[in-house]
Amino acid sequence: MNFQPLGKRVLVKREEEATTTASGIIIPDNAKEKPATAKVVAVSSEVKEIAVNDTVVFGKYSGNEVKLNLDTYIVVDTDDIFGIIK
């Protein structure tokens, strides 16, 4: 991929949300919320605490969606990232 975030931003790809509950109930697409976790795909040179392939938690309405190579990604400011899942 040829995308390099600028400033204190990272490029993330949302992780797929489960389509069924633990008891087996199927959740329809219109009832799902967008997941607030994502895998980091690219990092700006100014960002030191987050690395590529980290899984991060970010604000529900944070970032801007971009389409690259037919996939949808989100450019998120590091101030909107709450933490890294280890």
Q: With respect to residue 40, please indicate whether it lies within any of the assigned structural domains.
A: yes
Distance of alpha carbon 10 from alpha carbon 45, whole angstroms: 10
Q: With respect to residue 4, please indicate whether it lies within any of the assigned structural domains.
A: no
**How much is the pTM?**
0.78
CATH code of the domain containing 67: 2.30.33.40
User: What is the total count of domains within the chain?
Assistant: 1
54-79-61 Cα angle (round to 5): 85
Q: With respect to residue 21, please indicate whether it lies within any of the assigned structural domains.
A: no
- What does the pLDDT look like over 58-70, one tens digit per residue? 988 889 999 998 8
Distance of alpha carbon 26 from alpha carbon 68, whole angstroms: 30
Cβ-contact 78, 50 below 8 angstroms: yes
| Domain span at 77 | 9-16+26-85
Distance of alpha carbon 10 from alpha carbon 6, whole angstroms: 8
- What does the pLDDT look like over 27-54, one tens digit per residue? 666 655 666 889 999 999 999 999 999 9
